[in-house]
Amino acid sequence: MKAVIISILIFACTAAMGIAFYWALEKSPEFQAETAQLMKASFLQEETPIQLEAEGGELWVFPKDSEAWVFEIGGSVLKVKPPLPQITRSGESVSYPLVEDAPAWPEIKAALHSLVFTRLQLNPKPDAANTVEILAP
């Protein structure tokens, strides 16, 4: 009987230490930074720039420059900040003082959000929408 109780206690202590080690590793800034860099590399692995077309006919082209894209993990949220896009309408360049002031930004932001989920093959659970945040360039 003593042997069974000791075995259960050893198993419980080992499991608790393993869970504590995993939790500490997962929450470490180095682990989160490396995970974010791996996600960025996976997201940008296609050869072409990211082109998104808004409903008003604007074409938003985000460069593939991996240095310009920012991926950060804060808690359980992946924050993605794209570089400044080239925006054209009917072949003419369009600029806005702030990208988030562009009428098409909410649509483009939603398209980028969807693209992140697709390219990183994230599980789109109903509560997963808050796990990725798209920041304005």
Q: What is the pLDDT of residues 39-76, one digit of tens each?
A: 888 888 877 889 999 888 899 999 988 888 999 988 77
pLDDT score, position 25: 62
- Is residue 46, in this structure, part of any structural domain at all? yes
Range of the structural domain that residue 115 is part of: 29-134
Residue 80 φ then ψ, to 5°: -115, 120
Count of domains for the chain: 1
- Is residue 50, in this structure, part of any structural domain at all? yes
CA dist 84 → 5, 40, 60, 133 (Å): 62, 16, 9, 17
pLDDT score, position 119: 85
Reported as a single tens digit per residue, the pLDDT across 63-119 is 988 888 999 988 778 899 999 999 998 888 988 888 888 899 999 999 998 888 888
Sequence-ordered list of residues with C-beta below 8 angstroms from that of 68, at least 6 positions apart, any chain: 82, 83
**Torsion, Cα of 58, 60, 61, 62 (10° steps):** 170
- Is residue 63, in this structure, part of any structural domain at all? yes
- Is residue 104, in this structure, part of any structural domain at all? yes
d(CA 8, CA 87): 63
- Is residue 24, in this structure, part of any structural domain at all? no
- Is residue 105, in this structure, part of any structural domain at all? yes
- Is residue 13, in this structure, part of any structural domain at all? no
